[in-house]
Amino acid sequence: MINKVEILGVNVDSLTMQEAIDRIEKFYDDGKAHLIATANAEMLMRATHDEELKKILNSADLVVPDGAGTVWAAHHLGYEMPERVAGYDLAQELMKRSPIKKRRIYFFGSAPGVADKAKLKAEELYPGIKIVGTRNGFFSESDEEKIISEIKAAKPDLLLVALGVPKQEKFLATHLEKLNVPVSIGVGGTFDVMAGVMKRAPKWMQRAKLEWLFRALLQPKRAGRLIALPKFVLKVHSSKQKS
């Protein structure tokens, strides 16, 4: 039984990457549509004032600890959390395994052309991968039915959605049953990194838990959003004091 840790009102699964993969493998074959969320500090902070997002996360089938801040928070609150399960790495692991069982994958999101470039990169990295469709993330509400029809027609087993938080989670939660895809995951900037549009932090920065700093240096526009990190630390500490 995988334990859940409550961080600022959101239940996050305490598990390893391998345990997350094993859980998702079972999701593929049980005949239901599953929503997976990748919870970093920014998402958890947003959920403290976005009740819809909080409700979605707490009803998701799996919420992995994507980010050093999430793991730190669990430990600070006195809970076990074995490791960070980064959304980018989770997506790569699922893609790497997909040719073995002939899983079909759909890429939805990012700027025009980015998902197509990410598809080419995936085909280069994971020979035999079956990406059955791509679609950029620029659309209006009136386009949603057409997008849903396109995804359904492609019959993916895995739907990767890169619309940013909380748009990707809200889109999936709203349309999950209609899409009827076994596994759907909000993957943020994954396609941008795969397409070479955005760099990922070097391994040493990832190990030192400084990926947030790398993103801030690379994208100064994100600096305002990164103020959420010290606020997150203070809020977690405050929640511990109250408990």
The tens place of each residue's pLDDT in the chain, 243 residues long, gives: 569 999 999 999 999 999 999 999 999 999 999 999 999 999 999 999 999 999 999 999 999 999 889 999 999 999 999 999 999 999 999 999 999 999 999 999 999 999 999 999 999 999 999 999 999 999 999 999 999 999 999 999 999 999 999 999 999 999 999 999 999 999 999 999 999 986 666 777 667 555 655 565 566 555 556 666 778 889 998 888 776
Is residue 116 in a domain?
Answer: yes
Q: What pLDDT, on a 0 to 100 scale, did the predictor assign at position 70?
A: 95
Query: What is the residue whose two structure tokens read 């345990």?
Result: 19
Is residue 243 in a domain?
Answer: no
Q: How far is CA 41 from CA 23, 29, 157, in A?
A: 23, 31, 29
Q: Quote the domain boundaries for residue 224.
A: 3-135+148-238
Q: What pLDDT, on a 0 to 100 scale, did the predictor assign at position 216?
A: 56
Q: What pLDDT, on a 0 to 100 scale, did the predictor assign at position 225?
A: 60
Query: What is the residue whose two structure tokens read 């109250």?
Result: 242
56-76 as b/e, with b when 16 or more CB fall inside 10 Å? bbbebbbbbbbbbbbbbbbee
Q: What pLDDT, on a 0 to 100 scale, did the predictor assign at position 241?
A: 77
Is residue 227 in a domain?
Answer: yes
Is residue 84 in a domain?
Answer: yes
d(CA 166, CA 42): 10
Give the pTM. 0.90
61: which DSSP letter? S
Residue 4 tokens read as 């859940």
d(CA 28, CA 4): 21
CA atoms within 13 A on the CB side of 219: 14
Q: How far is CA 235 from CA 38, 48, 70, 242, in A?
A: 20, 10, 12, 11
Across the strands, what pairs with 62? Answer: 36
Is residue 143 in a domain?
Answer: no
d(CA 204, CA 27): 33
Is residue 142 in a domain?
Answer: no
Residue 192 tokens read as 């941008």
d(CA 164, CA 137): 9
Q: How many independent structural domains does the chain possess?
A: 1
Is residue 23 in a domain?
Answer: yes
Is residue 131 in a domain?
Answer: yes
134: which DSSP letter? E
62: which DSSP letter? E
